[in-house]
């Protein structure tokens, strides 16, 4: 096996993706562990190794003495071809052992377009892809990650899903596995049934789904009384004491985020109505500046990275930001470490922050107004004014930056062509702001506007909304292109076809697994990659499987319909979602969690360290 791998590595691109052996990888004696987990990321090494969630779970699971968790990434097509031709099944990087021989094959589902790659990895491991076809001899297939909040399109491939934050939940699941093996009560079925009683685990085979003639869901219920009707997501209550990896694996080859990633807080106070992360990660929980600083120093000592990135959904909302950056800058500047603050909000961007981010190495700045007019920004609850943005870019220009990037979305609910034109007007105003300054940076101003297409997401106030048709999205992109005449403005946009496929899968139900299996059979994978994405082929797949993609992407769903993801309880009440949805049509905003609690319901999940009012 080993010999085969090293022979084929000589004939593939970037063999460093497949060798393992990095500094910081965890090697255990396999004869001395009770549970072996193959932690799979259904995308390339470079993407997977950049994922903070994987680092956390890899570290947390390996902290358990009886558990050895190893990493597996999806082989690129040249490697897969060699593996299949030479009879090399999917293997884990640390031991090079076949994934098929592990106890648990865990797959992180980060975005909908990785579904084919995920299922292909199961196949490449020599494991039957459908859960119903797998006997005791195969590993337990565990899914997790953001897509597990609506895992229905891949429900038939998995045995169990971890819902919400996994670092504590997966350790509990591992312990249950070890205990049941040791006391002789283990069988796959018994284990899954028992696991369904753990908080935060969803076993899809324990629920039955019936459909109405019009394709909507008629009944979605547990098959047994002891199986919970709704699966409540897991949250980590205290980020100061929870596990955080301070000795990450150091990749040899360059990865996407090749730096120290420091998690500052989870959740978001904002409540933008299109944003799934803003809803599913509630309530807001912060890490203290001292803990953050101590973790940063520890990771620096263990890695030698020269860049630190403070991660969160919206870094300027971190209430300890000033304190934390002061603590960090005190030693990072001395050690020539660059501090970067992604996800800045324009309305809280200050001169002081500007000074702090222009430390050792300089880069551009990015803001996300999302919509071109105040009316539409109010409808999506962005709570951002044009003056805030202009103020922020002026600070950036004064600080010597001349490149600004702005993110927008097309196809948002209630959007009109006037709103789209507003994007070009706003971009123009940003350019004007540059020329209003008496003293300007030497480099010419460039404003890049990057426009994506709105994808309605489960567990958001816009979950009932239809996506714009493909024709409409394409026409809006064309229209905006015509409106942008200023040569200082660079316009980039996302492929609408990709967004449409995302919409189908993000709001999909169990019937889509047929299409995914069919697509994998046709050799489709890496759908998120331009060189692999094939929209027409997908449409053929849907047609051959008797699936109408517009039923999922372009249909307005009634408030009273049973949604495929209703089985998952993210802590936010449906009544709050409905009220938020209605407010969008009145362009009414909702205050952020710091200003006023709007009673979404998520406060019952957190403890004192949240921004939510204390439980009564």
Partner 1 sequence: MVPEKEIMPVRIKFTKLGDLMYISHLDLARTMQRIIVRSGVDIWYSEGFNPQPRIVFALPLPVGVESTCELMDFKINSYMSFEEIKERVQRNFPREMEVLEVYSPEVKFKSIAYADYTIVLHSPKIQADTADNVNSLFSKECIITKKSKSGEREVDICTFIKSLNASAQNGTVVINTVVNAGNESNLNPELIVQAIAKYLKIMDSNSIDEYCTIMRNKMLDEELNEFK
Nearer Cβ to partner 1 (303/573): 303
What ranges in 94-165 are assigned the alpha helix state H? 115-124
Closest distance to partner 1 from the beta carbon of 311 (Å): 20
Closest distance to partner 1 from the beta carbon of 472 (Å): 45
Closest distance to partner 1 from the beta carbon of 250 (Å): 6
Closest distance to partner 1 from the beta carbon of 436 (Å): 27
Closest distance to partner 1 from the beta carbon of 300 (Å): 8
Place of tokens 């300890």: 320
Closest distance to partner 1 from the beta carbon of 38 (Å): 19
Per DSSP bridges, beta strands 265-266 and 35-41 are: unpaired
- Do residues 557 and 464 touch, judged by C-beta distance below 8 A? yes
Nearer Cβ to partner 1 (362/492): 362
Nearer Cβ to partner 1 (88/129): 88
Residue 32 dihedral angles phi and psi, to the nearest 5°: -110, 5
Cα atoms found within 13 Å of the Cα of residue 594, Cβ hemisphere only = 10
347 by DSSP, 3-state: which?
Answer: helix
Nearest to 592, CA basis, from 234, 165, 284, 281: 284
SS3 string of 4-71? HHHHHHCCCCCHHHCCCCCECCCCCCHHHCCEEEEEEECCCHHHHCCCHHHHHHHHHHHHCCCEEEEE
Nearer Cβ to partner 1 (11/492): 11
Q: Which strand ranges, in their side-by-side order, compose the sheet holding 35-41?
A: 67-73, 35-41, 104-108, 140-144, 160-162, 201-202
CA–CA separation, 401 and 388 (whole Å): 17
Tokens matching residue 132 = 């119903």
Closest distance to partner 1 from the beta carbon of 403 (Å): 15
Cα atoms found within 13 Å of the Cα of residue 507, Cβ hemisphere only = 31
Cα atoms found within 13 Å of the Cα of residue 161, Cβ hemisphere only = 30
Q: What is the DSSP letter of 251?
A: -
Nearer Cβ to partner 1 (190/360): 360
Nearer Cβ to partner 1 (301/436): 301
Closest distance to partner 1 from the beta carbon of 248 (Å): 11
Nearer Cβ to partner 1 (7/575): 7
Residue 372 dihedral angles phi and psi, to the nearest 5°: -85, -20
Would you mind telling me the total number of residues written for the chain in this entry? 616
Nearer Cβ to partner 1 (6/492): 6
Closest distance to partner 1 from the beta carbon of 306 (Å): 7
Closest distance to partner 1 from the beta carbon of 81 (Å): 14
Closest distance to partner 1 from the beta carbon of 8 (Å): 8
Measuring CA to CA, how many Å separate 240 from each of 167, 246, 292? Answer: 14, 14, 8
Tokens matching residue 506 = 């993000």
Nearest to 65, CA basis, from 109, 33, 23, 111: 33
CA–CA separation, 429 and 326 (whole Å): 33
- Do residues 91 and 99 touch, judged by C-beta distance below 8 A? yes
CA–CA separation, 65 and 159 (whole Å): 25
CA–CA separation, 191 and 209 (whole Å): 22
Nearer Cβ to partner 1 (30/537): 30
Nearer Cβ to partner 1 (94/386): 94
Nearer Cβ to partner 1 (210/254): 254
Closest distance to partner 1 from the beta carbon of 124 (Å): 21
Closest distance to partner 1 from the beta carbon of 441 (Å): 14
Nearest to 71, CA basis, from 299, 249, 253: 249
By CB under 8 A, name the binding residues for partner 1.
6-7, 9-11, 15-16, 19-23, 250, 252-254, 300-306, 336, 360-362
Closest distance to partner 1 from the beta carbon of 19 (Å): 4
Q: Which strand ranges, in their side-by-side order, compose the sheet holding 489-493?
A: 365-370, 403-410, 446-453, 489-493
The helix (run of H) or strand (run of E) holding residue 67 is strand 67-73
Nearer Cβ to partner 1 (208/256): 256
SS3 string of 510-523? HHHHHHHHHHHHCC
CA–CA separation, 112 and 611 (whole Å): 30
Closest distance to partner 1 from the beta carbon of 97 (Å): 16
- Do residues 91 and 72 touch, judged by C-beta distance below 8 A? yes
Tokens matching residue 289 = 């500046």
Nearer Cβ to partner 1 (90/489): 90
Helices vs. strands in the chain: H and E counts, helices first = 20, 19
Nearer Cβ to partner 1 (336/582): 336
Nearer Cβ to partner 1 (250/484): 250
């Amino acid at each position: 096996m080993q010999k085969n791998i090293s022979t084929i590595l000589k004939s593939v691109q970037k063999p460093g993706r497949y060798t393992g052996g990095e500094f910081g990888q965890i090697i255990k004696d396999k004869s001395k562990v009770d549970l072996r987990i193959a932690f799979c990321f259904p995308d390339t090494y470079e993407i997977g190794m950049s994922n903070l969630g994987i680092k956390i779970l890899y570290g947390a699971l390996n902290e358990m003495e009886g558990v050895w968790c190893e990493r597996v990434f999806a082989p690129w097509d040249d490697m897969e071809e060699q593996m299949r031709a030479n009879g090399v099944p999917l293997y884990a990087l640390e031991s090079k052992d076949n994934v098929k021989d592990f106890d648990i094959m865990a797959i992180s589902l980060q975005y909908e377009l990785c579904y084919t790659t995920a299922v292909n990895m199961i196949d490449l491991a020599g494991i039957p892809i459908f859960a119903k076809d797998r006997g005791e001899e195969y590993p337990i297939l565990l899914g997790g990650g953001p897509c597990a909040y609506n895992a229905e399109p891949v429900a038939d491939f998995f045995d169990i899903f971890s819902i919400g934050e996994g670092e504590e939940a997966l350790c509990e699941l591992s312990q249950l596995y070890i205990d049941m093996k040791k006391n002789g009560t283990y069988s796959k079925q018994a284990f899954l049934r028992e696991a369904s009683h753990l908080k935060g685990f969803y076993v899809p085979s324990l629920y039955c789904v019936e459909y109405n003639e019009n394709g909507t869901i008629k009944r979605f219920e547990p098959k047994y009384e002891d199986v919970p009707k709704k699966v409540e997501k897991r949250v980590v209550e205290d980020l100061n004491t929870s596990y955080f990896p301070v000795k990450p694996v150091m990749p040899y080859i360059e990865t996407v985020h090749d730096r120290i990633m420091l998690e500052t807080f989870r959740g978001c106070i904002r409540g933008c109505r299109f944003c799934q992360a803003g809803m599913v990660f509630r309530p807001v929980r912060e890490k203290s500046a001292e803990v953050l600083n101590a973790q940063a120093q520890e990771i620096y000592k263990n890695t030698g990275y020269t860049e630190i990135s403070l991660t969160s959904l919206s870094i300027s909302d971190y209430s300890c930001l000033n304190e934390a950056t002061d603590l960090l800058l005190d030693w990072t500047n001395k050690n020539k470490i660059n501090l970067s603050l992604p996800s800045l909000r324009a309305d809280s961007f200050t001169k002081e922050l500007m000074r702090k981010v222009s430390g050792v190495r300089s880069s551009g700045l990015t803001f996300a107004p999302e919509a071109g007019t105040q009316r539409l920004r109010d409808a999506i609850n962005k709570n951002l004014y044009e003056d805030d943005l202009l103020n922020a870019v002026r600070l950036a220009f004064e600080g010597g930056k001349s490149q600004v990037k702005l993110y927008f979305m097309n196809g948002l609910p209630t959007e009109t062509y006037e709103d789209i034109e507003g994007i070009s007007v706003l971009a123009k105003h940003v350019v004007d702001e540059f020329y209003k300054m008496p003293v300007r940076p030497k480099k010419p101003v460039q404003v890049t506007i990057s426009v994506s297409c709105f994808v309605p997401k489960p567990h958001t106030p816009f979950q009932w909304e239809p996506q714009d048709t493909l024709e409409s999205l394409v026409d809006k992109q064309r229209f905006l292109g015509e409106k942008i005449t200023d040569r200082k403005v660079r316009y980039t946009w996302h492929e609408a076809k990709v967004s449409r496929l995302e919409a189908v899968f993000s709001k999909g139900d169990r019937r889509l697994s047929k299409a995914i299996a069919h697509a994998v059979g046709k050799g489709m994978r890496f759908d998120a990659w331009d060189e692999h994405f094939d929209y027409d082929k997908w449409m053929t797949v849907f047609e051959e499987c008797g699936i109408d993609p517009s039923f999922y992407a372009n249909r307005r769903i009634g408030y009273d319909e049973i949604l495929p993801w209703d089985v998952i309880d993210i802590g936010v009440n449906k009544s709050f979602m409905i009220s938020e949805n209605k407010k969008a049509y009145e362009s009414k905003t909702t205050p952020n969690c710091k200003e006023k609690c709007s009673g979404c319901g998520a406060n019952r999940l957190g403890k004192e360290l949240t921004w939510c009012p204390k439980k009564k």
